[in-house]
Amino acid sequence: MNWERRLYLTAHPLAYPLLRGVARRGPAVRVPGVGVVVNDASLAREVLMDGERFRKDGPGSPGELWTPVLGPSVLLNMEGDAHRALRRRLADLFTPSYAGELCARVLAEPLERLSGRLASGASVDLVDASRVLAGAVIGEVIGLETRSEAAFRDLFAQGERIVSMISLRTRRLSPAQVGRARAVLDPLGDIAAKAYAAGDESTVMGRMRALGLSADEARGAAGAFFLTGTETVATLLPRLIALLADSGRLDDVAADPGGLLGRAVDEAMRATTPTPVMLRSVARPATVGGIAVRPGDRVLIATHNCCRAYGPFDLDRPHPPELRRLWFGAGPHFCIGYPLAMAEIRLVARTLLAAAPLEITGRSAARRVLIPTYRTLTVRSTREPAPGPARGSTNGEVAA
């Protein structure tokens, strides 16, 4: 069985066959209890670009899901003038240059240790390594003071516990689920608020203050970045390496990362679709793929179906305009953390590719997760081991 399909079936054994079955019914399909499901990239982009008729702050939208947890003023639950105003203030938060500098600084030591382990010929679990690395970056974003490997793992696990409460059919969190999410996010919000109050503009929270965000807005933004950014990066990296290895193209990209890595990351994101679905609430009467929708109806953009319509992973596949980075959204809600995610992914991927040729020595799929992923994916470099003792921990983990 194709490993990407196995990951989806293990994570969503019932919902995934339904999602793929709906894809065969046409560009848009009304599914009782779910809403109008969009399976076509062009149609999905039309919905995402129309913030007047399709919104993130109505019934069945991300706003209904996350406002009880994050508060009313975060980008993922806002629309209209308030959203545009906050978006403008955040526009310079993650510039490509700042994102690159942040990742290079935060990941320098753990990536050096990862390189050392690979150079020694040891097997490394890329799932564990990616979680530590993603935790290090998001810890920097929210102002986490404890810079240990254990703290980074714990940070990732906390986010995973919240996100795992969501299924493809979830419309809102129960009061008990909201309580569990707040129990995780409130202490992290306190950490972010402390970093905001310090006002150090070399930090992300300090930059938010300098950009004119209020303390509550900065705290909410930190929570949103924590929830939406950590798993996206951590799940993509092992799948990227697995896709390159399984397709026989890993050595090609390793030989020419400057020319091929960007294309490989985009194609891996299309094939894996780190945001499998996106939600919108209908605010005005409209038509979606020939289906009439009314205010209060729910539109579920099956991003995975939109992307997978173009076939399996193929490094040489061109992406048509309507597909371009659809997994990060489109229009007014295109992911503001995109530069940070890409900087992290490219930096870690270059480190891994520098150790090529790589051999996958073991893997298994993760259960009870929202974003399909590997539970473990161990690799080792088949290069002649470097002389001298191995650097890093003896169990193949990344030290921070």
Band (pLDDT 50/70/90 cuts) for residue 25 is: very high
Joined tokens for residue 223? 């929570």
Q: 379: closest CA among 356, 399, 346?
A: 356
> With 0-12 CB in 10 A as exposed, 13-18 as middle and 19+ as buried, what is 299?
buried
* pTM more than 0.75: yes
Contacts of residue 212, Cβ cutoff 8 Å, sequence gap at least 6: 89
Residue 73 binned pLDDT confidence (cut-offs 50, 70, 90): low
Contact between 393 and 387 under an 8 Å Cβ cutoff? The reply is no
- What's the confidence (pLDDT) of residue 398? 42
Least confident of 159-173, 301-315, 371-385, 386-400: 386-400
Q: Name the least confident of 140-154, 299-313, 316-330.
A: 140-154
Stronger pLDDT, 60 or 27, i.e. the higher one: 27
Token pair recorded at residue 244? 């390159």
Residue 226 banded pLDDT, cuts 50, 70, 90: confident
Q: pLDDT band for position 389 (50/70/90)? A: low
- At CA 396, angle to CA 2 and CA 141, rounded to 5? 85
> 90: pLDDT confidence band, cut at 50, 70 and 90?
confident
pLDDT tens figures, 336-350: 889 999 999 999 999
Place of tokens 């995975």: 304
CA angle 222, 332, 28 (to 5 degrees): 110
| pLDDT at residue 400 in the model | 33
Burial class (CB in 10 A: 0-12, 13-18, 19+), 89: middle
Beta partners for residue 30, in sequence order: 36
Mean pLDDT over residues 118-136, rounded?
A: 95
Say how far apart CA 286 and CA 208 lie, in whole Å. Answer: 37
The pLDDT of residue 173 is above 90: no
Rounded percentage of the chain residues whose pLDDT exceeds 90: 58
| 3-state SS class at 143 | coil
Cis peptide before 332 (omega within 30 of 0): no
Distance between CA 15 and CA 88 in Å, rounded? 37
Percent of the chain scoring above 70 in pLDDT: 94
Q: Collapsing DSSP states into helix, strand and coil, what is residue 368?
A: coil
Rama region for 189: left / alpha / beta (φ>0; ψ in -120 to 50; rest): alpha
Q: Please give the DSSP secondary-structure letter assigned to residue 74.
A: S
Q: How confident is the model at residue 134 (pLDDT cuts 50, 70, 90)?
A: very high
Kindly give, in sequence order, each residue whose CB lies less than 8 Å from that of residue 46, ignoring residues fewer than 6 positions away. Answer: none
The span from the CA of 95 to the CA of 386, in Å, is 37
Domains in the chain, ordered, with CATH? Answer: 3-72+103-313+323-381 (1.10.630.10)
Rg of the chain over CA atoms, in angstroms?
Answer: 21
d(CA 391, CA 295): 59
The size of the chain, in residues, is 400
pLDDT in tens, 240-264: 999 999 999 999 999 999 999 999 9
Q: Is 150 exposed, middle or buried (0-12, 13-18, 19+ CB in 10 A)?
A: exposed
The separation between the first and the last C-alpha atoms of the chain, rounded to the nearest angstrom, is 36
The string of DSSP letters for 158-195 reads HHHHHHTT--TT--S--HHHHHHHHHHHHHHHHHHHHH
Strands 286-288 and 291-293: antiparallel
Select from 382, 311, 243, 278 the least CA-distant residue to 62.
Answer: 278
Lowest mean pLDDT among 49-53, 175-179, 369-373, 384-388: 384-388
Rounded Cα gap, residues 31 and 343, in angstroms? 38
